[in-house]
Amino acid sequence: MLSTRLHEAINAQINAELWSAYLYLAMSLDAESKGYKGVANWFYVQFQEEQDHARIFMNYLNSRDAKVELLPIDPVPSAWNTVLDMYKQTLEHEKKVTSMINNLAAIANDDRDFASINRLVWFIDEQIEEEESARDMIFTVEAVEGDKYGMYMLDKELATRVYTTASPLAATV
């Protein structure tokens, strides 16, 4: 059985994951409106990933006989000055999410809830990937900044990114 503290924290994390999805959807739409279809695709894949992250937490609560409480999602920004600004905000946001996941792990550790710790290890590893991906995109966009052809080629490359179902969900799909 989950502690009340961990149950509430995971419900808050579900809300945060859905907010993240909403943020990345807004970034995708903003990029597309500016003609960056590849960047829009990159953020749309992020949107799908965040939805899956929320679903993994929902499935976990259900598997532990804990009620999922869906909370209202706060508004997200809808426009960014540049593609680089989008990726910089992405990195800062992912750092915040990492902190939240680490907090969940700390609560599970305090509770000696080994099942929850085990589930959270996947998210801890995922957050390393999320931050690295955002850092890589910042580096890449900075490398082509001011070069219209370079940005055009990067945008075409980003259009090829495809979504892969998160491994904790792959067996259930």
Q: Which sequence spans correspond to the domains of the chain?
A: 4-166
pLDDT per residue as tens digits for the range 129-173: 999 999 999 999 999 989 999 999 999 999 999 998 887 887 665
CA distance 25 to 135: 19
- Among the listed residues 33, 2, 1, the one whose alpha carbon sits nearest the alpha carbon of residue 104: 2
CA distance 41 to 58: 26
pTM for the model stands at 0.94
pLDDT per residue as tens digits for the range 95-122: 999 999 999 999 999 999 999 999 999 9
Question: Are the CB atoms for 144 and 154 separated by under 8 Å?
Answer: yes
Region 4-166: CATH code:
1.20.1260.10
pLDDT per residue as tens digits for the range 5-18: 999 999 999 999 99
